[in-house]
Amino acid sequence: MNRAEIIHWLRTSDEAALESLWREADAVRRREVGDAVHLRGLVEVSNQCVRQCAYCGIRAGNRTISRYTLRLEEILASVALAQQFGYGSVVLQAGETSQGLPTEWVAEVIREIRRRAPEMAITLSLGERGEKAFETWRLAGADRYLLRMESSNPTLFRKLHPQHPGWEFRLAALKQLQEIGYEVGSGVMIGVPGETWDDLAADIEMFRTLELDMVGVGPFLPHPQTPMGVEKPTFNDELTTLKTIALTRLLCPRVNIPSTTALAAIDRESGHERGLSRGANVIMPNVTPPQYRQLYEIYPSKANTLEAAETFDRKLQERIRAMGRSVGVGRGNSRRKYK
Ligand code: 5AD
């Protein structure tokens, strides 16, 4: 599929054609990665951040939120929950901060999780912390790293990330992570102010070029306490998000694709299910201690933000089975094979 064909799909509202796209994406998903839905427990370790990303609610410039970093015991309790629910991986996510999360401290956390949950994959989502930190954490036992590109268009990237050295540095960080031996996930927000159909099509092509193990996409959700929160979004809707998931599945058949919280935030009723039936095969339930969740507002009213992990997990596993899918067993490693 070339750029023009991707753009054609992104723009179409022909329902019969879309039915064939959904069917094809679902068939490729079933054939290439199977019916299992892999669950990864998300731990929002810290909302401290030195970056000024123009879209993100926990950007350094937002002085209206109080900042926290979980203590080691709180992280371990969250991991224990994920382990108890049988999740194959735990994702440690935070704003970007070397002061708040010193490299050595994170390494110690990783080693402790490894000791207690040897069967789980450890996934990090801690921003661009540099090659040295990436290596230290890999040696400590981390397996995967999530770092979204946010856009494949360097000009748009600059607008999204004031004070950032630039798109090439994000690309270089992704390469470093791959060379160090992580399974690497990336992705973009959909429908940011100023984005074009050509930009989004190029994003989808880039997922393939980068040979990613995981691709996470979700709609841009304006956050009022950010510079971009007052601009007009473009196509940050559910249909465009679902098309992006389906097209990603067709271009990267074996990649792991989450049905994201941002998608569920714009369709609380069935966002997760719709993503899963149009190409996605992963969900990342939040296992952060509830009292911290409102403070990790990267976008407003994250879905299920305050629901207890136990309740969410029970309902989720039921919903997965009701769809005729199974709950993943084991780590759910990347099966990617490009070319
Ligand atoms: N809307 C949607 N997604 C957002 N993210 C950050 N801010 C927003 C927002 N306002 C996404 C980014 C980031 C991920 C952790 O959350 O893509 O990489």
> In this model, does residue 306 exceed pLDDT 80?
no
Distance of CA 227 from the midpoint of ligand 1 (Å)? 14
Q: Which residues pair with 184 in a beta bridge?
A: 145
Percent pLDDT > 70 in the chain is: 98
Strand bridging mode 282-283 / 144-146: unpaired
Q: If you measure from the C-alpha of residue 31 to the centroid of ligand 1, how many angstroms do you get, rounded to a whole number?
A: 30
Task: State the Cα–Cα distance between residues 74 and 106, nearest whole angstrom.
Answer: 14
Looking at this protein, which amino acid is placed at residue 149?
M
User: Concatenated DSSP letters for 105-122?
Assistant: HHHHHHHHHHHH-TTSEE
The atom of ligand 1 lying closest to the CA of 229 is 10
CA of 223 to the centre of ligand 1 (A): 10
Q: For residue 337, name the pLDDT band (cuts at 50, 70, 90).
A: low
Give nearest CA residue, ligand 1 atom 16. 298
The pLDDT, as a whole number, for residue 307 is 83
How far apart (Å, rounded) are the C-alpha atoms in residues 91 and 241?
Answer: 23
User: 329 pLDDT exceeds 70?
Assistant: yes
What are 77-87's pLDDT values in tens digits?
A: 999 999 999 99
State the closest ligand 1 atom to the C-alpha of 147, by its place in the atom list counted from 1: 18
- Mean pLDDT to the nearest integer, 220-230: 97
CA of 34 to the centre of ligand 1 (A): 28
pLDDT at 304 over 60: no
Query: Closest Cα to residue 215, out of 150, 268, 271?
Result: 150
Q: Residue 335's pLDDT is what? A: 86
Looking at residues 315-327, what average pLDDT do you find? 97
Q: How confident is the model at residue 301 (pLDDT cuts 50, 70, 90)?
A: confident
pLDDT greater than 70 at residue 303: no
Q: Are 151 and 160 in contact (CB under 8 A)?
A: yes
- Candidate from 298, 299, 301, 302 with most ligand 1 atoms within 8 A of CB, to mutate: 298
Sign for the pseudo-dihedral over CA of 83, 305, 262, 224? negative
Judged against a pLDDT cut of 80, whether residue 4 lies above it is answered with yes
138-155: burial string, b at 16+ Cβ within 10 Å, e else: bebbbbbbbbbbbbbbee
Residue to substitute in 43, 46, 55 for testing ligand 1 pocket (most ligand atoms within 8 angstroms of CB):
55
Residues pairing with 218 in the sheet: 189
Mean pLDDT, the chain, whole residue set = 96
Report field, pTM of the whole predicted structure over 0.95: yes
Distance between Cα 226 and ligand 1 center (Å)? 12
Could you read off the pLDDT of 76-132 as tens digits, one per residue? 999 999 999 999 999 999 999 999 999 999 999 999 999 999 999 999 999 999 999
Q: How high is the pLDDT of residue 290?
A: 93
| Confidence class for position 178, pLDDT limits 50, 70, 90 | very high
Number of neighbours of residue 194 by Cβ within 10 angstroms: 16
Q: How far apart are the CA of 115 and the centre of ligand 1, in A?
A: 31
Give the range among 150-154, 323-327, 333-337 with minimum mean pLDDT: 333-337
The alpha-helical segments, DSSP class H, found in the chain are 3-11, 15-33, 72-84, 103-116, 131-140, 154-160, 167-180, 197-209, 238-251, 261-266, 271-276, 290-293, 309-322
Q: Which residues line ligand 1 (CB under 6 A)?
A: 55-56, 148, 150, 189, 218, 220-221, 223, 262, 298-299
d(CA 237, CA 221): 9
* Tens-place pLDDT, residues 19-77: 999 999 999 999 999 999 999 999 999 999 999 999 999 999 999 999 999 999 999 99
169-178 mean pLDDT: 98
Segment 169-195 mean pLDDT: 98
Between the CA of 310 and the centroid of ligand 1 the distance, in Å, is 25
- Confidence class for position 338, pLDDT limits 50, 70, 90: low
- Look at residue 282 and tell me whether its pLDDT is greater than 60: yes
Non-local (6+) Cβ contacts of 136 within 8 A are 103, 104, 107
Give the residue whose CA is nearest to atom 13 of ligand 1: 148
What pLDDT score was predicted for residue 44?
98
| Amino acid occupying residue 63 | R
